[in-house]
Amino acid sequence: MSTFVMPSLGADMESAVLMEWKVKEGESVSKGDIIAEVETSKGVIEIEVFEDGVIEKLLVKEETDCAVGTPLAVIRSKEQEVEEKESQEFKIDESPQKVLEPEEKKTDEKVFKQRIKISPAARKKAKELGVELSEVQGDKKEIHLRDIESETVPKKSEHPASGMRQAIAKAMSLSNAQIPHYYLSSSINMSPALKWLEEVNRNRAIQERILPAALLIQAVVYALKEVPQLNGFWRNDALEISKEINPGIAIALRKEGLITPAILNAHELNLDGTMKSLSNLIERTRSGKLRNSEITEQTITITNLGDLGAESVFGVIYPPQVALVGFGRIMNAPWAEGDTLSVRKVLQATIAGDHRATDGRIGGKFLDKLNQILQIPQELL
Amino acid sequence: MNMDEIKKIIIEQILEIAPEISEDDIDENKNIQRSLEIDSFDFLKILTALNEKLGIEVPEADYSKVDTLNNMAEHFLKQL
């Protein structure tokens, strides 16, 4: 018997609304199945189950705001299915849920009561007005629209920040307060890689074309295989290098904000696979649904400013990651080779590194590998 | 198919891919990507959708010929 709890979908998340159950009591589930959809500041996220088993009991009604760590369901594992069932009462701790502590000490620790009902209209209004549901709750079991409206005292700002904006603000403040960043930058001649990509795309149908963004992600993954120290986490005062390479890709949302969902297991993909995964990820980020593993398992972040961006970007590392790779706009620039000067497509590649985990030597080695890889792009296919 | 019909189809696809854009935002002589903040990924999606609708493939080398709504419609009209 195990209890499935509301997972933490990032250090900035305290609670989320369980929107919809995707399973019924008595249903069999396999590891990786979607069992519920929850609404967070990052949008609606599909939650995967982490074991094979049978849904014994759903403990929380749909549209309930649950703190991280709140028991949501009881899952009977497959082994227990086979064994003779000992009829044991499964007791749920009725005491207020403890919020799982993120790695940092929170100064404003709040303990949320579980199982508050919030009417959908109230939730929508609260979002619009930037009202914290926990502040409205008081002793109420249910929150209605009027509770939200009575809560809206005039604020300093006429436009309170959206939930997503606040989540970004929290993560970035934490990063700046905790992580001693170092920054390095290199100019990369992209002419050979872009010429090669043009040749590849010329013989392909439009649906099969590869964008430079996918090529750059692939090159980062290859370079990380050679310099693994930048792919991992700073935890308990030590660098934890990750075996998997799950680059979080900074994707701008159309209305406002930014999410960095991961291309999972990018180290197993070839260039076509990376392009397909990237397309799928961007589409789901902007108009569909992401999975919890995609927004929690990033091992490094890549931000690519693209054709309309600035020349270079020195990013803010997303804790507990230890590095962020940045790409500026690819532009025509004078380029010296030997003693001749010519015009080439030039890209500024940057790295922001956590100086607790690595030093500039490692960051420099990474940029050098990245450059070498991009000079022989045919090896990326 | 005439110029206006092609334009209408292109606009439909742009609005499909970037739903927050309204038709009034589209200036037919301005660079589509720059003026509407459409990135390379969405631009490719628009061209892919138009390829399915009109059966025209735009090679990468011709992207500069389809940078505005007017240029794109003219380019497609020649191809049809």
State the Cα–Cα distance between residues A121 and A125, nearest whole angstrom.
Answer: 6
State the Cα–Cα distance between residues A364 and A349, nearest whole angstrom.
Answer: 11
Is A177 part of the contact surface with chain B (CB cutoff 8 Å)? no
User: pLDDT tens-digit profile of B4-57?
Assistant: 999 999 999 999 988 888 999 999 999 999 999 898 899 999 999 999 999 998
The answer to whether the CB atoms of B40 and A211 lie below 8 A apart is: yes
Contacts of A198 in chain B (CB under 8 A): 60-61
Contacts of B49 in chain A (CB under 8 A): none
Amino acid A309: pLDDT: 84
* pTM for this predicted structure: 0.77
The answer to whether the CB atoms of B39 and A306 lie below 8 A apart is: yes
State the Cα–Cα distance between residues A174 and A320, nearest whole angstrom.
Answer: 10
Of A201, A207, A213, the CB nearest to B41: A213
Gyration radius of chain B over CA positions: 11
For testing contact with chain B, the best of A198, A254, A283, A287 (most B CBs within 10 A): A254
The answer to whether the CB atoms of B60 and A198 lie below 8 A apart is: yes
The answer to whether the CB atoms of A202 and B44 lie below 8 A apart is: no
Q: Which two tokens stand for residue A262?
A: 């991961």
Is A205 part of the contact surface with chain B (CB cutoff 8 Å)? yes
State the Cα–Cα distance between residues A75 and A52, nearest whole angstrom.
Answer: 9
The pLDDT mean for chain B works out to 91
Per-residue tens of pLDDT for chain A, all 381 residues: 888 999 888 767 788 899 999 999 999 999 889 999 998 877 789 999 888 999 999 999 998 999 988 999 999 887 665 554 444 444 444 444 333 334 433 333 333 444 566 766 667 667 767 777 666 665 566 676 656 655 654 445 556 677 788 888 888 999 999 999 999 999 999 999 999 999 999 989 999 999 999 999 999 999 999 999 999 999 999 999 999 999 999 998 877 788 999 999 999 999 999 999 999 999 898 877 899 999 999 999 999 998 878 999 999 999 999 999 999 999 999 999 999 999 999 999 999 999 999 999 999 999 999 999 999 999 988
List, as ranges, residues 305-334 from A with C-beta within 8 Å of B: 306-308
Strand ranges in A195-237 using DSSP code E only, listed in sequence order: 232-235
State the Cα–Cα distance between residues A56 and A192, nearest whole angstrom.
Answer: 58
Contacts of A199 in chain B (CB under 8 A): none
Amino acid B45: pLDDT: 93
Amino acid A94: pLDDT: 41
State the Cα–Cα distance between residues B33 and B42, nearest whole angstrom.
Answer: 9
Residue with tokens 């904006």: A165
Q: Is B8 left (phi over 0), alpha (psi -120 to 50) or beta?
A: alpha
